[in-house]
Amino acid sequence: MALFEEFKGFSTDENVNPNYIIPKQFMFRLQKLMDEYVGGAGSNFATNEASLTRGAELLGFLKEDSEKLAARDLYELLRVWENKHRLWQAEAHLRAVEFRKETRWPGYYFRTDYPTLDEENWLCFVNMKVDPATNEWSVFKRPIINMFGVE
């Protein structure tokens, strides 16, 4: 809230300011990025390697902008933290879609560069972890264990 108070008079509209970004505007930018580059409704749930690479680049810019998230009140302060968590989830989702070289769930997302289901190589879980000290992500496969013998 201190960031907002410091710079709120910098522009004539407190929603648009080069010194901070309010949570609602940040959420719109994140949604647009995910929709257009990571296989949302705006792209008919289709994506590909080039689109995901560009999405990752834009997500990096948005991460920088997240340092300037500002709140007018306690409600918006909650939205600031919600957006920081959404940003983590968005990056994890992008990395999982990028790692999986197939289309696993047609209708959910469609990899135009890998348009078919590949049961031999990709009938698995895609898991990941991030090292908070280095911000390095590791993405890896985990087998599906059929505990009930259902085929």
User: What secondary structure does DSSP assign to 62-118, as a single string?
Assistant: HHHHHTTB--SSHHHHHHHHHHHHHHHHHHHHHHHHHH--S--STTT-EETTS-S--
For the chain, give the percent of residues with pLDDT over 90.
72
pLDDT at 109 over 90: no
For the chain, give the percent of residues with pLDDT over 70.
98
Q: Which domain holds residue 112?
A: 2-117
Q: What is the pLDDT of residues 95-107, one digit of tens each?
A: 999 999 999 877 7
The answer to whether position 107 is within a domain reads yes
The answer to whether position 104 is within a domain reads yes
pLDDT at 34 over 80: yes
Q: What is the pTM of this model?
A: 0.87
CATH of the domain at 103: 1.20.58.100
Q: What is the pLDDT of residues 49-99, one digit of tens each?
A: 999 999 999 999 999 999 999 999 999 999 999 999 999 999 999 999 999
**Higher pLDDT among residues 10 and 66, named by residue:** 66
The answer to whether position 142 is within a domain reads no
Q: Structurally, how many domains does the chain consist of?
A: 1
The answer to whether position 44 is within a domain reads yes
The answer to whether position 12 is within a domain reads yes
The answer to whether position 95 is within a domain reads yes
